[in-house]
Amino acid sequence: MSASTITSSSLDSAPVPNQSSHLSDDKPLRPNRPKPSRLKLTYDIVMLIAISIDLLLISIDAILMSDFIRHVAGWLTISDALIWYQNTLHDPLRTAGGFFTIFLILELLLRWAVAIKQKIYYRWFFFPFVHWYEVLGCFPQLRALRLFRAVVIGRRLYQLGYQVLPQPWINRIKFYIDLLLEELSDRVILTTIQNFRQQLTNPATHKSFIESTIARNRNEIEAALLSVLRTELAPKLQELTASSGGGSILASEMGNAIEEGLANTPELRRYLRMIPIAGSLIESQLQHVGHNIGENIVHALNKRLLDPERLDSLMVAVASGIAKIDTDNSALDTLISSIIDDSLTEFEAQVKVQQWKHQDMLNL
């Protein structure tokens, strides 16, 4: 058996990866990402549960120790139960929270040592900067930052294909995150547009803005004008050389004008009438010849002046001349200001459209 036969048979028997699993939205795990061990997954799940319980107890304790709950308990006549909690359970919960904080510090130092040993980061001191929220969350005053770690663990589990939260909850969270980001970005953009409008109303900055804009884009302005002239004006002018259409009308009008000019020349008519018999015939033939001469002159001028090469060079000269226009022109300032203001108005109107309102809230 040849080597090629062995190779082809081994390739045919090799398992083919399921491509649909890579394209499915329900399994966000990347194909090249190694799946973590069961011990690592178990540890992440345990830490997620422990941090969630710790944050829940911290929140409940903060609420029950507040003055607002004291007034509510007095209104609901459950002050005795609240006082029992404050005198009996508050201190043990604080002690348990302190032990959990010590555990998080030790666990963070251990993971830092593992990261140094495995050379996960480029430098050994990069770990606390990457996990800044965990470092700050070790302080009792900043225990709320532990929520970030819970979110990171939950996101990692979700990317591995584990459903941490129900899909409707995830959709609603994504919706409110997009809503928040959209509103914040819209406020920033609208403020920037307003500042830009104020700069345009300032005569000094407005003048320098127009001058710098035209100076930087003279080549583009010249190219755009040349393209418009070649596309729109050149065909219209070249139609004058055609035997039908505008060219024939112009030639006919020129011939009629010369014919009318000869007919209205009294000296020519007087001299021709001095010729007996043939004078009137010569006069009519001379007018006909004048008409033909006028048509031929128009056609000859069109062919020479509207030659494609000459016409293109004329377009280039016109576009170059317009691109070198003097910016010290009130009409030009008014035009550019109007264009910029209209553009900003349209852009501002698009920014003010709240895209999140177009989503179907019932499907969240």
In tens, the pLDDT along 16-32 reads 444 433 333 444 444 45
Residue 195 counted as domain residue: no
Q: CB neighbours (10 Å) of residue 291? A: 20
Quote the CA–CA distance of 176 and 6 in Å, as a whole number: 57
Same domain for 47 and 98, yes or no, is yes
pLDDT for 311:
73
Residue 60 counted as domain residue: yes
Inter-residue contact 184 to 72 (CB < 8 Å): no
Residue 184 counted as domain residue: no
Q: Where among 146, 164, 182 does a domain terminate? A: 164
| Structure-derived torsion over alpha carbons of residues 162, 165, 171, 176, reported in degrees to the nearest 10 | -130
Place of tokens 């995830």: 170
Residue-range definition of the domain harbouring residue 311: 205-328
Query: How many residues in total does the chain contain?
Result: 364
pLDDT for 175:
80
Quote the CA–CA distance of 215 and 205 in Å, as a whole number: 15
pTM: 0.41
Same domain for 36 and 140, yes or no, is yes
Q: Where among 114, 134, 164 does a domain terminate? A: 164
Query: Does residue 5 register a pLDDT over 70?
Result: no
pLDDT tens figures, 122-162: 888 888 888 888 888 888 778 888 888 888 887 777 777 77
Residue 48 counted as domain residue: yes
Same domain for 127 and 229, yes or no, is no
User: How sure is the predictor about 256, in pLDDT bands with cuts at 50, 70 and 90?
Assistant: confident
Same domain for 292 and 232, yes or no, is yes
Here the tokens at position 221 are 């302005």
Residue 194 counted as domain residue: no
Same domain for 210 and 278, yes or no, is yes
Q: Rounded to the nearest 5°, which phi and psi values hold at 161?
A: 100, 10
pLDDT for 1:
42
- What does pLDDT average to over the chain? 74
Residue 21 counted as domain residue: no
Same domain for 222 and 157, yes or no, is no
Same domain for 147 and 219, yes or no, is no
pLDDT for 64:
84
Residue 348 counted as domain residue: no
Inter-residue contact 47 to 100 (CB < 8 Å): no
pLDDT tens figures, 286-325: 777 877 887 778 777 766 666 677 777 877 888 887 777 7
Same domain for 159 and 230, yes or no, is no
User: How sure is the predictor about 34, in pLDDT bands with cuts at 50, 70 and 90?
Assistant: low
Number of domains in the chain: 2
Inter-residue contact 134 to 28 (CB < 8 Å): no
Burial (CB count <10 Å: 0-12, 13-18, 19+), residue 55: middle
Query: Does residue 88 register a pLDDT over 70?
Result: yes
Inter-residue contact 85 to 64 (CB < 8 Å): yes
Same domain for 43 and 160, yes or no, is yes
Same domain for 250 and 137, yes or no, is no
User: How sure is the predictor about 79, in pLDDT bands with cuts at 50, 70 and 90?
Assistant: confident
Q: Where among 164, 195, 224 does a domain terminate? A: 164
pLDDT for 6:
39
Residue 50 counted as domain residue: yes
Same domain for 153 and 225, yes or no, is no
Same domain for 214 and 154, yes or no, is no
